[in-house]
Chains A and B, each alone.
Chain A
Amino acid sequence: AQSVTQPDIHITVSEGASLELRCNYSYGATPYLFWYVQSPGQGLQLLLKYFSGDTLVQGIKGFEAEFKRSQSSFNLRKPSVHWSDAAEYFCAVKGGYQKVTFGIGTKLQVIP
């Protein structure tokens, strides 16, 4: 079975500071990995995905994520956070032919 853990429920960062959101997965092989963002009252928007190849993945809105097999992690990063990045972020994992499993989400607050 596959699972995904987002250990941080809430994170607060100052505008302009760097950001790292943690995601750990459990799956017997290399899964497909995703990060989504959800603004209040909206659906989920795909930020980036990892299927194979380069372990550093670039996404939209200046986000990137790094796949680390040894740590079973897929952490999301952004060098400089903007107030508009305040939202909830979901990591998701898909192992082989299984359906997608989502993490519980991390709420990001950005303070001026």
Chain B
Amino acid sequence: AQKITQTQPGMFVQEKEAVTLDCTYDTSDPSYGLFWYKQPSSGEMIFLIYQGSYDQQNATEGRYSLNFQKARKSANLVISASQLGDSAMYFCAMREVLWDNDMRFGAGTRLTVKP
């Protein structure tokens, strides 16, 4: 069963505007970590932000923030003040502690920033 769901295959945003990329997950493990990665066309996976299941506050890293709604099992990525260099694939991922502890990825969202 798919544990990470990203329902937006593609998103467009105007430069300097904010955009939200959706991610929902499924787990019965009380301890887990949620991650967002960026993959430019060159192929490398760039780690953006992390949210632990016990963290009380939403994670933030510069222009990236994670809107963590534990009861709804969602972990949306918010990118503020979009830049042209933000155009890339974005992947949501999860690692569970009690299951196999391996990182599982969603299908990804392709973000295009328009000038």
| B is bound to A | no
Give residues in A with beta carbon < 8 Å to B.
Answer: none
Give residues in B with beta carbon < 8 Å to A.
Answer: none
